[in-house]
Amino acid sequence: MRIHVVNPNATSAMTAQIGIAAHKVARPGTVIELVTGSGTPVSIEGYTDEALVVPGLLAAIRSAEQHGAEAHVIACFDDPGIDAAREVARAPVIGICQAAMHAATTLSTRFSVVTTLPRSVPIIEDLADRYGMGRRCRRVRAIDMPVLAIEADPDCSYELIASEILAARDEDGAEAVVLGCAGMAELCERLTAETGILVIDGVTAAITMAEALVATGYRTSKIGAYALPRPKPGGLIGEAA
Of residues 36 through 95, those in contact with a copy of itself by CB under 8 A are: 41-43, 45-52, 54-55, 58, 81, 83-84, 86-88, 92-94
Stretch that binds a copy of itself, among 12-20, 150-158, 159-167, 231-239 (CB under 8 A): 231-239
- In the region spanning residues 108 to 167, those forming contacts with a copy of itself, defined by CB under 8 A, are 108-110, 117-123, 126, 129-136, 146
Instruction: Please check whether residue 134 is in contact with residue 98, taking contact to mean a CB–CB distance below 8 angstroms.
Output: no
**Cβ at position 139, least distance to a copy of itself in Å:** 10
**Dist CA 58 CA 86 (whole Å):** 9
Angle at CA 151, nearest 5°, toward 53 and 131? 50
- In the region spanning residues 189 to 228, those forming contacts with a copy of itself, defined by CB under 8 A, are 197-198, 200, 204-205, 208-209, 211-213, 215-221, 223-227
**Dist CA 165 CA 55 (whole Å):** 35
**Dist CA 240 CA 128 (whole Å):** 35
Under the binding rule (CB under 8 A), the answer on residue 182 touching a copy of itself is no
* Interior/surface letters 186-207, b for 16+ CB within 10 angstroms, e for the rest: bbbeebbeebebbbbbbbbbbb
**Cβ at position 175, least distance to a copy of itself in Å:** 4
Which residue, 38 or 159, is less far from a copy of itself as judged by CB? Answer: 38
- In the region spanning residues 20 to 39, those forming contacts with a copy of itself, defined by CB under 8 A, are 25-27
**Cβ at position 24, least distance to a copy of itself in Å:** 9
Q: How many residues are there in the chain?
A: 241
Instruction: Please check whether residue 153 is in contact with residue 177, taking contact to mean a CB–CB distance below 8 angstroms.
Output: no
